[in-house]
Chain A
Amino acid sequence: MRKLFLAAALAAVSSAASAAGVDAGRYQSVLGDCEGCHGKNLAGGVELMTPFGKLVAPNITPDKQTGIGNYSGEDFRLAMKAGIGPGGKRLYPAMPYPAYAKMSDADVASLWAYLQTVKPVRRAVDVNQLRFPFNLRFMMRGWNMLFFRPALYAHNAGKGAAWNRGAYIANGPAHCGTCHTAKTMMGSDKGMALSGASLQGWFAPDLTGDRNAGLGGWSAAQVVEYLKTGRNTHSIASGPMSEVVEHSTAQMNDADLRAVAVYLKDLPASDGNGGGASGVEAQMKSGAGVFRMNCAACHSFNGRGDNVLFPPLAGNALVRQSSAETLARVVLAGSKAVATPAAPTGPGMPSFAWKLNDAQVANVLTYIRNNWGNRAPAVSADTVAKIRKSLQPASH
């Protein structure tokens, strides 16, 4: 009887321990934003538009036929950290294995433990829809050889524990650089890390300490508030970042968010955004008129928003990026901000494409980028025209 009781107690301890392991693994999936590409149920299907064609995120549920139910722990570790699937199949770096390579084996193992507990979903996904020759997976061997330098995260002894934790999360599981670091024509990182990059029709903004386009004007607490709620006094997350906030950062614990903020706030300033526009008096004058008629009702005449619902344009780093791609897109197509439990509204900006022509959009963007203390390059009607064209549904 006593023995039986002991055995039961041991079983309880062991299942509690594995439950804790699964919880830790679930948290790794939050840090890594797996849902962002693989979908809410992880059965894949989210399309990623790359410069090389379309990739579709695969099913990573434990279904044996269509998911990763036949993977071993080592298969999973290799896929995560070396970009090599079972049988030596090369993954594309849209799966951010160059970042995941920095993760500790323990974190990858707990993520694996969690993924094995997810409900299996039978769903075959046609992953590789890249254009020739990029659809040839063996090409990735060469890419890896040229550009992939797998390395575990290296502790920086000169920095504190929070900084190191933040650097680990940002560059490892959270893979911030996948969007925020510019890429070469070959898809490898170039230039200064996290200084902003264009992808999928959006410009992922500069996260460095630059006071104009980066996070130089944000306090660490404001970085935390943004990642946790999707908004702060400077900005509000929309576009691809709203998905990152919803699936990942809003669910990170406060200590990790503070660590990320400590790390980001310590990034040296980038080269900046190229400076303010000059010789554009006519654009500024026209833009002021467009702004009064169309934008001021929400963003207010002084560009300060209302500090509750509508984001400011004055002092908003997103407005001052070197590229106005995101701004033009939002004006033309509209955008819906993220809704989080702490800020559930998720306000939307409607489309103005039917109402404003390319020159008007260019003028109002030039105006908001160079008013109220903002300084950023002018926007041309040609740039707007290109973005407008890219937003039109492809003809069949």
Chain B
Amino acid sequence: MAKLLPKRDAVIIGLGWTGAILAQQLTEAGLNVVAIERGPWRDTPTDFNVAYMQDELRYAIRKELFLKPSVEAMTMRNTVAQTAMPMRDYGSFLPGDGVGGAGVHWNGQTWRFWSSDFSIRSHLAQRYGAARMNGLMLQDWGVTWNEIEPSFDKFEYLCGISGKAGNLKGRVVPGGNPFESARSRDYPTPPMKMSYAPTLFAQMVKEQGYHPFPTPSANLSTAYVNPLGVRMGQCTYCGFCERFACGNYSKASAQTTILPVLMKKPNFELRTECEVLKVNLAPDGKMAKSVTYIDAKGVEYEQPGDIVVICAYALMNVRMMLLSKIGAQYDPVTGQGTVGRNYCYQTGSGARMFFEGKHFNPFIGAGTLGQTMDDFNGDAFDHGPLDFLGGGGINCVVTNGRPISNRPTAPGSPRWGAGWKKATIEGYNSSMGFSAQGSSYPVRENYLDLDPTYTDRHGRPLLRITFDFPDNDIRMSHFMSDQLEKISKPFGAKVTTVSRAKKGWDAVPYQSTHNTGGAIMGGDPKTSAVNKYLQSWDVPNVFVIGASAFAHNAGMNPTGTVGALAFWAAQAITTKYIKSPGKLVRA
């Protein structure tokens, strides 16, 4: 029997990026908030020790900061005809663990999805006719650009993002991204200083008529004090961002932007190493009354709350809803149900060029030290004559020059011995790459549900991922690979390799921790799990925050949009819901 605890105004499940933003905004509005976090407490000076943070074996290879499959595994299959098998190790994507979540070990590439993403169906229907979307479950997100823009601004200023505006209130600014949607003001800090590879990339693609710009970065170009008074340091370009926490207070995370203020608030409490088992609903299933969690000693507690905010990462959000029976499971055969629907990923390809006589010094790096061109992203280009929808950002980002995993060798090089050593020495410093981060559009057969066979350590069903790259996305990605080949030609490299996406998603090699959808937002409760304020259509005192709300995934990293949605939902709770609890949208 779980021990019953005193009721709180709001219970937040997970204290990563979204949980921290929600906790900060809700406590600011006077609510009494408790956050329940499965993983450990982590803070910069104690856990992200700058004296050993760049230990590649410990953090990148042995993955110390990530979720362990012994805590929560998932099963995967490519099609409904297959039997899903559990992942024995996380590979294709690496979910976070502990306070700060995946926001601790991200690269820091901070994008705004475009106006044409939030209204994707309306936009594409108008430009190409609705029939072009046949086979794709593209739908509007329910929120419009003008509504969400101020929330992007809040997230960027919280983080101190380093970048250059390309579209200030409709005026295109040279040197920025001309394809971005209108922003109300420039980035809070100037772009990072570029090393040789992105400088060369920008010069070469500009000569080809494209529009390169500095990739918007949460690795800060300069020291910064955010609106909460929290201070960040300047990035040292050490190149240990992805898979690592930042020991220099230079990468935006919950730790470097919010927690110093949040943790001191008398109306906030954090409980770590406490795993929420489920959200408990009232007998009629229409309201959540509490959550049940289990602490590190195995003791069960019931924490009642007026509002439950699920902030557990996209995939875990969906699982928590299914385990708690919040909303109906999506069925790919009938198309009925909403939870698990529109699961999307990312469709990537890359180019690498090997030169003679060039020295790129890739050890000067950062998660977002780079240049991007969006000329082939989203609907920035005419899809009229093409056989696909979507696109990708082309990024030349020098994220790392780490000694274990960064060993590029030209094709045909020996695979071992002295010849391999020679090739890696040459390839390390004289090669550079860039990649296309392609969109991922929803199709009927890609979805999430609970596995019928495999369970976790508490006996709860694992999440089952049924996913393969849709034909539309494969055609899109091949088009992107064609562009990479064309763009790379004038560089004059000795050898150039370009990868090509193929069917059959493989859960083993790392690809991207950009899992999206499954509890998507929208204007229709038949086709979305949450409304435009990320409020459950079915249980209105439950809000589900994260990339789970993305109705599709664009050719950009998701965190900027995740942060914006968190501020947007927090604003709805603090300005609308607490004044008049109930459904914020009547369907």
Chain A residues at the B interface, C-beta cutoff of 8 Å? 294, 297-298, 306-310, 334, 336, 339, 341-352, 354-355
Residue of B nearest to A347 (CB): B249
Interface contact B223-A344, CB-CB below 8 Å = no
Instruction: Tell me, in angstroms, the Cα distance from A352 to B51 when the chains sit together.
Output: 7
Q: Which residues of A contact B44 (CB under 8 A)?
A: 347-348
Q: Which residues of B contact A310 (CB under 8 A)?
A: 233
Q: Which residues of B contact A341 (CB under 8 A)?
A: 229
Instruction: Tell me, in angstroms, the Cα distance from A211 to B129 when the chains sit together.
Output: 76
Q: Which residues of B contact A352 (CB under 8 A)?
A: 51
Instruction: Tell me, in angstroms, the Cα distance from A350 to B49 when the chains sit together.
Output: 6
Interface contact B233-A355, CB-CB below 8 Å = no
Q: Which residues of A contact B134 (CB under 8 A)?
A: none
Interface contact A339-B260, CB-CB below 8 Å = yes
| Interfacial residues of chain B within 216-268, with CB under 8 A of chain A in the complex | 223-225, 228-234, 236, 238, 247-249, 260-261, 264
Interface contact B51-A336, CB-CB below 8 Å = no
Interface contact A346-B260, CB-CB below 8 Å = yes
Q: Which residues of B contact A342 (CB under 8 A)?
A: 229
Instruction: Tell me, in angstroms, the Cα distance from A318 to B45 when the chains sit together.
Output: 21
Q: Which residues of B contact A346 (CB under 8 A)?
A: 260
Q: Which residues of A contact B249 (CB under 8 A)?
A: 309, 345, 347
Interface contact A306-B223, CB-CB below 8 Å = yes
Interface contact B45-A348, CB-CB below 8 Å = yes
Instruction: Tell me, in angstroms, the Cα distance from A298 to B232 when the chains sit together.
Output: 11
Instruction: Tell me, in angstroms, the Cα distance from A294 to B236 when the chains sit together.
Output: 12
Q: Which residues of B contact A354 (CB under 8 A)?
A: 51
Interface contact B230-A350, CB-CB below 8 Å = no
Interface contact A297-B50, CB-CB below 8 Å = yes
Residue of B nearest to A229 (CB): B229
Given A308-B224, A309-B223; A343-B51 close (CB under 8 Å)? no
Q: Per DSSP, are chain B's interface residues mostly helix, strand or loop, or mixed? A: loop
Interface contact A306-B234, CB-CB below 8 Å = yes
Interface contact B45-A344, CB-CB below 8 Å = no
Interface contact A350-B247, CB-CB below 8 Å = yes
Q: Which residues of A contact B228 (CB under 8 A)?
A: 344
Taking residues whose C-beta sits less than 8 angstroms from the other chain, chain B's interface range is 20 to 34
The 10 closest A-B pairs by CB, nearest first: A348-B45, A308-B223, A350-B49, A306-B223, A309-B231, A344-B260, A345-B231, A297-B236, A309-B233, A345-B260
Instruction: Tell me, in angstroms, the Cα distance from A104 to B49 when the chains sit together.
Output: 48
Given A297-B248, A344-B260; A351-B231 close (CB under 8 Å)? no
Instruction: Tell me, in angstroms, the Cα distance from A339 to B259 when the chains sit together.
Output: 12
- Asked whether any CB of chain A lies closer than 8 Å to the CB of B46, the reply is yes
Write out, one digit per residue, whether chain B residues 15-54 have a CB within 8 A of any chain A CB (1) or not (0). 0000000000000000000000000000111100111100
Instruction: Tell me, in angstroms, the Cα distance from A298 to B238 when the chains sit together.
Output: 12
Write out, one digit per residue, whether chain B residues 140-171 have a CB within 8 A of any chain A CB (1) or not (0). 00000000000000000000000000000000
Interface contact A309-B49, CB-CB below 8 Å = no
Residue of B nearest to A349 (CB): B45
Interface contact A308-B233, CB-CB below 8 Å = yes
Q: Which residues of B contact A294 (CB under 8 A)?
A: 51
Q: Which residues of B contact A307 (CB under 8 A)?
A: 223
Residue in B230, B233, B238 whose beta carbon sits within 8 Å of that of A344 in the complex: B230
Residue of B nearest to A300 (CB): B234
List 13 A–B pairs whose Cβ atoms lie within 8 Å, in order of A's numbering. Answer: A306-B223, A306-B234, A308-B223, A309-B232, A309-B249, A334-B45, A336-B45, A339-B260, A339-B264, A344-B230, A344-B261, A349-B45, A350-B50
Given A297-B50, A344-B228; 20 other pairs, CB 8 A cutoff: A294-B51, A309-B232, A309-B249, A334-B45, A336-B45, A339-B260, A344-B230, A344-B261, A345-B230, A345-B231, A345-B249, A345-B260, A347-B231, A348-B43, A348-B44, A348-B46, A350-B45, A350-B51, A350-B247, A351-B51
